[in-house]
Amino acid sequence: MDDRPAAKMGGDAQTRPDLDRTEPKHLPRGMTPLPLEQPGARHADGKARYIMIGGFLGAGKTTAVAQLARRLTDQGRRVGLITNDQGRDLADTTLLRSQGFATEEIPGGCFCCRFNSLVDAAQKLTEQTRPEVFIAEPVGSCTDLVATVTYPLRRLYGEHFAVAPVSVLVDPIRAERVFGLAGGGSFSEKVLYIYRKQIEEADLVVISKCDLLAEARLESLRAALAAAFPRKDILAVSPRLGTNLDAWFARLTREEQGPGAAMAVDYQVYADGEALLGWLNCTVRVSAREAFDADQFLKQLADEVRTRLEVGKAEVAHLKMTLSPDSGLGDIAAVNLVRNDFVPELSLHVEEPVESGQLIINLRAEAAPELLGAAVREALAATAARFPTLQATVEHLEHFRPGKPSPTHRFTQVAA
């Protein structure tokens, strides 16, 4: 068990983020060239498509990734997924693997700071399943991904990857609050700096969960986004319901990211914003002599955590939990909480009672990491007490604040 009060997640950084990089003549030391594919394994140009779907914590990235991966798989395309987190034991990875997708996880820092690991993950997937399409989901608190991920991929590995336009998902309820269209809890200004920068660098701004807003409110949000970020392509979709996905997915699978200059980023403000966020990853062994309802256990646990965070005046960014039964056919239960005043929502269900399994808890909030750790431990004890004979044993718990981002590369522009 690792109760870290803080952690610096610098990853395999090699270059300073404030430098205007030019294209190197050779691959950087430590970077392995991707192997050439067998004939016919990919598109006629021999390139795999790289799709990155970003957005702030709780925006619905994993749901969208799963929908796109399922769509492509059903079309006969080979797909590889890459997840990313500041810590380890990521619920997203469990969720995606449970749906049958080949998934690699990059822990210990964002894609920009773990660029070599990103390339290695793509190579590992290539060796295993030779994907035609890679879909990458970055950490929800990261920005500047165009300059530090897609531009380096295009410059260093352009012969292997066709890079799709970068999508940034926006939760409509959170966005209404950020842009002053509605009241409710929000984040401090330095955290919102990251939020706005994510939208600024997007090729496609995607209002996710559009089913949560009536048409008039949705149009008001579109107008606010267009006013703040002129000339952006703004889409509105609902990955959960399958609404308006065809046009968005068509652009991701057919278009390529165009040339342009990367946005300016104040890395000190960026680092300060990330440092305001508490991060918690936890794995728990649950077991009971009498089988219990996994769905109800997760919902009650999420509500117990939410209540304690409200008392501590912590603003929830995202709480995601999965429970994987030891028995069964691979089904898992999953619950999400994306705001303090939101009801915990089950996204995956386990129909049969459960006797034992692994619980993964990922919690991100604007709060001290120690508060998150205390809230989770207390909530676990309170929830377990409601289920006769159930025991919840913490196997691993880490809580920390993300360290200052230090990208491996930063290219400020890329040619057509």
Q: Tell me, what's the pLDDT at 327?
A: 86
Q: Are 413 and 155 in contact (CB under 8 A)?
A: no
* Confidence (pLDDT) at 10: 34
79, 82, 54, 56: which is closest to 68 by C-alpha? 79
CA dist 115 and 237 (Å) reads 30
Q: Distance between CA atoms of 360 and 353, rounded to whole angstroms?
A: 18
Which residue is it, tokens 């890329």? Answer: 414
Structure confidence at residue 416 (pLDDT) = 62
Tell me the C-alpha distance between 280 and 362, whole Å: 6
Distance CA 336, CA 333 (A): 11
| pLDDT, tens digit only, all 416 positions of the chain | 333 333 333 333 333 334 344 333 333 333 344 443 333 334 557 899 999 999 999 999 999 999 999 999 999 999 999 999 988 888 999 999 999 999 999 999 999 999 999 999 999 998 988 999 999 999 999 999 999 999 999 999 999 999 999 999 999 999 999 999 999 999 999 999 999 999 999 999 999 999 999 999 999 999 999 999 999 999 999 999 999 999 999 999 999 999 989 999 999 999 999 999 999 999 999 999 999 999 999 999 999 999 999 999 999 999 999 999 998 777 899 999 999 998 999 999 999 999 999 999 999 999 999 999 999 999 999 999 999 999 999 999 999 999 999 999 999 988 66
Residue 91 to residue 101: CA distance in whole angstroms: 14
Q: Does an H or E element contain 104, and which? A: strand 102-106
Name all domains of the chain by residue range, CATH numbers in brackets: 48-273+404-414 (3.40.50.300), 278-400 (3.30.70.360)
Measured between alpha carbons, how far is 126 from 122 in angstroms, rounded to an integer? Answer: 6
What is the token pair recorded at 415? 């040619």
* Alpha helix ranges (H) inside 35-78: 61-74
- How far, CA to CA in Å, does 397 sit from each of 1, 239, 282, 319, 325? 5, 31, 4, 15, 20
Mean pLDDT estimate for the chain: 89
Which pair of tokens denotes residue 31? 């970077």
* Cα separation, 118 vs 408, whole angstroms: 11
Q: Is 142 in contact with 403 (CB distance < 8 Å)?
A: no
Quote the pLDDT of residue 329: 72
Other beta carbons within 10 Å of 341: 10
Name residue 229's beta-bridge partners. none
Residues 249 and 71: beta-carbon distance below 8 Å: yes
H or E segment and range at residue 251? helix 245-254
Helix (H, G, I), strand (E, B) or coil at 271: helix
Please report which residue ranges of 263-351 form alpha helices under DSSP H: 267-275, 294-311
Give residue for tokens 């604040």. 401
Contact 400, 106 (CB under 8 A): no
Name the token pair of 266: 């104040």
Q: Give the model's pLDDT for residue 7.
A: 37
Q: What pLDDT, on the 0 to 100 scale, is given for residue 175? A: 98
Quick one: 278 exposed, middle or buried, by C-beta within 10 A (0-12, 13-18, 19+)?
Answer: buried
Tell me the H-state helices in 75-166: 91-98, 115-129, 145, 151-156
Distance between CA atoms of residues 120 and 151, nearest Å: 17
Identify the CA nearest to 69 among candidates 141, 120, 129, 145: 129
Three-state SS string over 182-212 comes to CCCCCCCHHHHHHHHHHHHCCCEEEECCHHH
Cβ atoms of residues 112 and 15 within 8 Å: no
**Rounded distance, CA 153 to CA 199, Å?**
21
